[in-house]
Chain A
Amino acid sequence: MIPLTRRQMITRMGGGLGAVAMAGEMHAAEGPHFAPRARRVIQLFMNGGPFQGDLFDPKPLLHKFAGQRPEAVRLRTERQTAGLMPSPFRFRRHGHSGLEISELLPHLSRHADRLCVIRSLHTDNPNHGPALLQINNGTISPTVPSMGSWLSYGLGTENENLPGYVVLCPGRPVRFSVLWTSAFLPAEHQGTYINHKSLDPKQMIPYLRNANLDRATQSRQLELMRRVNRRHLERRDGDPLLAARLKSMETAFRMQFAATDAFDLARESKSVREAYGTREFGNGCLLARRLVERGVRFVQIYYGNGQPWDTHHGHNARTASLCRDIDRPIAALLDDLARSGLLEDTLVVWGGEFGRTPTTDLSEGKGTDGRDHNHYGFTMWLAGGGMKGGVAHGATDDFGFQAVTDTVHVHDLHATILHQMGLDHERLTYRYAGRDFRLTDVHGNVIHELLA
């Protein structure tokens, strides 16, 4: 058992965001079940679903069988598909581990020895909505909490002046807020959605700054509030609820400045801004770094508005362009985290809600250069936070369609992420509607082979 800091104690007692439990309501779980390997998570979400065969799961046989439709690929996905389409992108081995990574990701390839690539993921449904729900909330039901909410509930926050769970997207991902819902968990564990299309920190958190009053005036207001509330409190025997509200007012006052600082990219040097690029996804990565540095528990970055990785047509050209967008920022993020030592206990997760088919999509009638959704097999990678590096785990079939060896279900991924955060996925439960709900429903196994 690791000793708790005072802040952790307060957090444990009160729940996320310095919240205080009212009259017998439970707000947060008891904290980690065992010593965590990771304290925070950054999830890089390629919404729409990237094709594993272009990036981390090379399938040379696709060239040999191009255009054919062998028995093994007659799998039902969302739409009808036709023959096999080889990936035009070349792979090379990188690092000491010799991990194979696509030429589309030259900068990320520098980090090959840090990546724990899972090639054998699978999920239950080839439709965006249910798949997004499954990977965010554990099941296809829109009535259960998201993973970030579970983490916030289970671990509280390390910085009372910032939200514990932040969702960044330069736009609106499909299905939107249900993907970070706290559902029946206390509302404070809901993800704070921030559209970072605008980089003005004042726009990012609701009601963060006052349009009219300066700091001095607000200080006077705060002092007045203290006096008025203390007088009220004294006559009510120091009722803890009233005291809690008074205290949270003080925190809010500080938060105005702390949060503004955290979200202000202008405070980064020119060279850092260049390393991340100045496009939206890069800005998201840089914001994520600033947030985890300040103790935010879970930061999720959706690549973009709608579902940009959903390449039913023009797949190859779009994939190349999408990769150009993510390659440098992710590499820069990993560089920074490694340099500061944060990568030790920060888990970085990359992937989409599913993968794509090695066969071409037939449905849109826009030529044969698209790929359909694929829930039978796809790739995600993790880095830092106590994961092994330079590893490729599991395998899909010869064509990269279906996970066949050491398969990993989304439930197993969730169990593993919670495990690294010090939480037993079977014990992190919340009683609602007569049942003990958990992120992994009644499934999930920690993939111990992948843990460093």
Chain B
Amino acid sequence: MPLTRLISALLVLLVVVAPAQSAAAPKPSAKELEFFERRVRPLLVRRCYTCHSAKSKPLKGGLRLDRSSAIRRGGDSGVVFVPGRPDSSPLIEAVRYTNAELKMPPKSKLPASEIAVLVEWVRRGAVLPPDRPLDTPTSSADLKAAREFWSFQPLKRHDPPTPAIRTAWPRSRLDHFVLARLTQQKLSPSNPATRRTLIRRLSFDLLGLPPTPTEVDRFVCDQRPDAYQRLVDRLLASPHYGERWARHWLDLARYSDTTASWLKTTAQAWRYRDWVVEALNADLPFDEFVRRQLAADHMRNLPIQQRRALGFLGLSPTYWKEPRLAPGLIKVVVAEEWEERIDTIGRTFLGLTIACARCHDHKFDPITQADYYALAGVLASTRLFDQPLLPADRARVVRDADRRISRLERAVTQVTLRIPAPGDKQQQITRLKAQIEEIKKSTPDFDAPRAHSLEDASLFVLADGQDMTRLEYRLGEVRDLAIHRRGNPSSPGPIVPRRFLEVLSPGKARPFTNGSGRLELADALVDPRQGGSLTARVIVNRIWRQHFGRGLVTTPSNFGLQGELPSHPRLLEDLAARFIDNGWSLKWLHRDMVLSATYRQASRSDGPGRAIDPDNRFLWRMNPRRLSIESWRDAMLTASGELDTALGGPSMKVDDPRHRRRTLYSRIDRRELDTMLMLYDFPIPSGHSPKRIRTITPLQQLFVLNSPFIVRQSVLTAARVPVGARPRDAVDRLYRLLFDRSAEGVEIETAVEFLAVAGPQGWPQYVQVLLGSNEFVFVD
């Protein structure tokens, strides 16, 4: 290590260690703790716990290796390690098998790689995490300390800092926070963007669509002082706003148009997508938006159409439960489903990785295994089903038919699996299937629209005969779950009542009593005294990230201890607090952000920012952004004049040449994502996607070069701009259409040169290049 780096490393160490020196032992660094958690603890669990943990009967040598204090204390023959000195540590001696009297583990020597891990751990000082016993709720003292973490505290407004120098730059409250950080870093804001840039940026941000040339001209020439505010208001009132922002939500909700093949209907998933669009367009307060998605069926006086909101969970991935397998195996499959749902709920709303606590207490966050199973109980008491969107009495008739059908279907399965097979097996099956068809035909409204919905019902995985499995849903029944020790459903621990996370419940979390508890869970998620403060921070940060290209917290779905700290903590707190004060209105939130001077900055700047803050963490300029695949495709369809702007309805396959609607209406297949979407970083909807991982690959450019879609859009766009006598004019019109600006001399020359060689077919070839060019694909 070069000397300078060594010195700076030591300095860092000093800084980190200094505040903790008053305590008995230095506070272990995150890196050391991680080493223990990732390398050492799993090894101890695997190799030593049989004889050396709380559950060992008998406990060998009086030594427990499952708690930090116990490891430090050692066993009957004294301490097991000397920090920093592996060669003097009995633990190392034992695993090295150098002492014939003391060989551990006794049966066979550990592989060299594992011994090396233990040696390394002792050499580095044998750092141990603070004690937290497994399988027990965190003590109230622990909780009190845990609640000190920034994201678990109640929200409060912060006064904007007063600027060090007088400046007219800030336009809104949030600008003061940004400016203060910039000043601290010896940075200054960039110039405002031009009006042409602004309207293009704003249109893509709020609608996901480009502005028309007329809209651009009108805005550029608008002399009124509030021209920009008017533009923002007009865009926020457009129904296309909901389409653009629904897609962001659908990434989080791992929306898919197809559910598992064995579920009844899969063709109506879009009803949930349409609900999201409508809710956003109506500016449904975000707390209500959350509540309805989890518990619309429990909320009184909601029109039946609102049950569509339940698609958030109603379209969850479900995994095949093979009835021929033993119940033990099927219970694991069911537990996988709970985990996926808890993960989605935890990360989407709270930005917490609750699913990490399935097999053990969360390694970093104050979330216990008991917390996990308290929430899993809510999901274990909830069933996915297809709700007919009908008045209650008519829906009841359909539901009754559903039940008779599922009984008959179960009978079909039983006949199929019976051994020995009955002689008239085929006839029996044919007869049963005919009965099913008859019910479908004779039930009024059987084909009525349905929503992927939820109801309270518990799934029981029961043994059937020898050791096959029978699944039984008990309608209206709810249940508390036992903790699965080490995540193993066949090793039940204590039962925990359904309730919210302890750390986010002031005092003590009260058990849920209303059915499955989904409504109480939803209420807790949005109650600012419980999860609501965190929920507000998380959604504010998500919207911020979409507008500015970078989150205040760069781990949008992890606000826990492993997440990144906010770049502008007070700004985030203040904005989230005001968001709640403004009735959780997302449109208010958008307006607050896009009206700011911060948002209106140019993305190009000659200032020192590039050297001081190349990642633009402190927002000294606007971040240029690449269009999402949705916006890019929509922009091409807009340019060619093909775009069908109708709202809502069933999805179409992306590569269907008749599909001229917005990309939002493309069919998303969980099992087989469309090639074009996949190439352009569309998330695989098998789980929650916090942010799209943006890649630049040659396969994407093959699409630009060769796809029939681009070729078609090029031909159509070219046809809209007839070349006529003066190619120069056509090039200029094309630039206005695609880039919202007129073409410059050099650009026209380049075009004319290309067209001269390419001949009459050259025009669409030229357009194709522009549709794939960086200027079309990136927004300044």
A: which residues have CB within 8 A of B?
15, 17-20, 22-25, 27, 76, 78-80, 124-127, 129-130, 140-143, 160-161, 163, 176-178, 181-184, 186-188, 190, 205-213, 217-218, 220-221, 224-225, 227-229, 231-233, 235-237, 239, 241-242, 244-246, 248-249, 251-253, 255-256, 362-363, 365, 426, 429, 431, 433-436, 442, 445-446, 448
B: which residues have CB within 8 A of A?
38-39, 42, 111, 113, 317, 319-320, 322, 324-326, 329, 332-333, 336, 340, 343, 347, 352-353, 355-356, 362, 364-365, 417, 419-421, 425, 466-467, 549-550, 554, 557-558, 560, 562, 604, 610, 615, 623-624, 626, 671-673, 675, 678-679, 681-682, 684, 686-688, 693-708, 711, 746-747, 750, 754, 757-758, 765-766, 768-770, 772-775, 777-778, 780
Question: Chain B residues near A182 (CB, 8 Å)?
Answer: 684
- CB <8 Å contact, B325 and A125: yes
- CB <8 Å contact, A207 and B421: no
- CB <8 Å contact, B356 and A435: yes
A366 to B673, CA, bound (A): 38
- CB <8 Å contact, A228 and B702: no
For A142, the closest partner residue in chain B by CB is: B686
- CB <8 Å contact, B706 and A242: no
A386 to B331, CA, bound (A): 40
- CB <8 Å contact, B364 and A127: no
What is the minimal beta-carbon distance from B80 to any residue of chain A, in angstroms?
23
- CB <8 Å contact, B695 and A27: yes
A226 to B769, CA, bound (A): 10
- CB <8 Å contact, A161 and B693: no
Additional A-B contact list (11), CB under 8 Å, known A15-B695, A127-B320, A252-B704: A176-B671, A205-B702, A206-B675, A210-B711, A225-B773, A227-B750, A228-B770, A365-B425, A433-B558, A433-B688, A445-B111
- CB <8 Å contact, B698 and A245: no
For B562, the closest partner residue in chain A by CB is: A434
- CB <8 Å contact, B758 and A17: no
A27 to B695, CA, bound (A): 8
A15 to B333, CA, bound (A): 34
A9 to B673, CA, bound (A): 31
Given known pairs A183-B687, A362-B419, the reply for A76 and B681 (CB within 8 Å) is: no
A217 to B706, CA, bound (A): 12
For B686, the closest partner residue in chain A by CB is: A143
- CB <8 Å contact, A232 and B347: no
| 23 sample A-B contacts, Cβ–Cβ < 8 Å, listed by A number | A18-B697, A24-B615, A78-B322, A127-B325, A129-B322, A140-B333, A143-B340, A178-B686, A183-B687, A186-B695, A187-B681, A188-B697, A212-B711, A213-B765, A221-B769, A228-B775, A241-B624, A248-B701, A249-B772, A256-B706, A362-B420, A365-B421, A434-B558
Q: Please tell me which one of the listed residues A18, A130, A178, A220 contacts residue B698 in the complex, with CB atoms under 8 A apart.
A: A18
What is the minimal beta-carbon distance from B61 to any residue of chain A, in angstroms?
26
Question: Chain B residues near A209 (CB, 8 Å)?
Answer: 706
A182 to B687, CA, bound (A): 12
- CB <8 Å contact, A241 and B320: no
Question: Chain A residues near B697 (CB, 8 Å)?
Answer: 17-19, 188, 248
Question: Chain A residues near B706 (CB, 8 Å)?
Answer: 207-211, 256
Question: Chain A residues near B695 (CB, 8 Å)?
Answer: 15, 19-20, 22, 27, 186-188
For B673, the closest partner residue in chain A by CB is: A177
Given known pairs A80-B466, A217-B758, A231-B746, the reply for A17 and B686 (CB within 8 Å) is: no
- CB <8 Å contact, A211 and B708: yes
Given known pairs A78-B324, A143-B687, the reply for A256 and B675 (CB within 8 Å) is: no
| Chain A CB within 10 Å, residue with most, of B322, B604, B623, B702 | B702
For B550, the closest partner residue in chain A by CB is: A23
Question: Chain A residues near B675 (CB, 8 Å)?
Answer: 206
Given known pairs A127-B322, A232-B773, the reply for A241 and B696 (CB within 8 Å) is: yes
What is the minimal beta-carbon distance from A111 to any residue of chain B, in angstroms?
30
A433 to B560, CA, bound (A): 11
- CB <8 Å contact, B604 and A237: yes
What is the minimal beta-carbon distance from A317 to any residue of chain B, in angstroms?
22
A210 to B775, CA, bound (A): 23
Given known pairs A22-B695, A245-B696, the reply for A125 and B320 (CB within 8 Å) is: no
Question: Chain B residues near A19 (CB, 8 Å)?
Answer: 695-697
What is the minimal beta-carbon distance from B744 to any residue of chain A, in angstroms?
9
| Chain A CB within 10 Å, residue with most, of B558, B560, B623, B698 | B698
Question: Chain B residues near A235 (CB, 8 Å)?
Answer: 604
A252 to B700, CA, bound (A): 8
For A225, the closest partner residue in chain B by CB is: B769
Tell me what chain A mostly uses at the interface: helix, strand, loop, or mixed.
loop
- CB <8 Å contact, B769 and A224: yes
A142 to B558, CA, bound (A): 22
Question: Chain B residues near A207 (CB, 8 Å)?
Answer: 699, 702-703, 705-707
A125 to B330, CA, bound (A): 10
For B417, the closest partner residue in chain A by CB is: A363
- CB <8 Å contact, A17 and B698: yes
Q: Please tell me which one of the listed residues A20, A163, A227, A253 contacts residue B696 in the complex, with CB atoms under 8 A apart.
A: A20
What is the minimal beta-carbon distance from A120 to any residue of chain B, in angstroms?
17
Given known pairs A228-B769, A245-B696, the reply for A365 and B322 (CB within 8 Å) is: no
- CB <8 Å contact, A184 and B336: no
A25 to B777, CA, bound (A): 19
Given known pairs A140-B332, A255-B702, A435-B356, the reply for A236 and B111 (CB within 8 Å) is: no
- CB <8 Å contact, A242 and B774: yes
Question: Chain A residues near B364 (CB, 8 Å)?
Answer: 434
- CB <8 Å contact, A253 and B705: yes
A246 to B766, CA, bound (A): 17
For A375, the closest partner residue in chain B by CB is: B329
What is the minimal beta-carbon distance from A38 to any residue of chain B, in angstroms?
19
For B754, the closest partner residue in chain A by CB is: A224
A231 to B610, CA, bound (A): 20
A143 to B554, CA, bound (A): 23
- CB <8 Å contact, A206 and B702: yes
- CB <8 Å contact, B325 and A433: no
Give 5 nearest A-B pairs by CB, closest first.
A434-B353, A252-B701, A252-B698, A251-B698, A365-B421
A246 to B697, CA, bound (A): 10
What is the minimal beta-carbon distance from B547 to any residue of chain A, in angstroms?
15
Question: Chain A residues near B708 (CB, 8 Å)?
Answer: 211
For B420, the closest partner residue in chain A by CB is: A365
What is the minimal beta-carbon distance from B633 to any residue of chain A, in angstroms?
14
A237 to B603, CA, bound (A): 11
Q: Please tell me which one of the listed residues A248, A256, A446 contacts residue B700 in the complex, with CB atoms under 8 A apart.
A: A248
Question: Chain A residues near B772 (CB, 8 Å)?
Answer: 225, 249
Q: Please tell me which one of the listed residues A15, A76, A252 contacts residue B467 in the complex, with CB atoms under 8 A apart.
A: A76
Question: Chain B residues near A225 (CB, 8 Å)?
Answer: 769, 772-773
- CB <8 Å contact, A181 and B684: yes
Given known pairs A184-B687, A434-B558, the reply for A76 and B326 (CB within 8 Å) is: yes
- CB <8 Å contact, A229 and B774: yes
Question: Chain A residues near B623 (CB, 8 Å)?
Answer: 23
- CB <8 Å contact, B746 and A125: no
For A365, the closest partner residue in chain B by CB is: B421
Question: Chain B residues near A248 (CB, 8 Å)?
Answer: 696-698, 700-701
Q: Please tell me which one of the listed residues A187, A205, A429 contacts residue B678 in the complex, with CB atoms under 8 A apart.
A: A187
Question: Chain B residues near A143 (CB, 8 Å)?
Answer: 317, 340, 686-687
- CB <8 Å contact, B694 and A22: yes
- CB <8 Å contact, A186 and B693: yes
Question: Chain B residues near A130 (CB, 8 Å)?
Answer: 333
Question: Chain B residues near A256 (CB, 8 Å)?
Answer: 702, 705-706
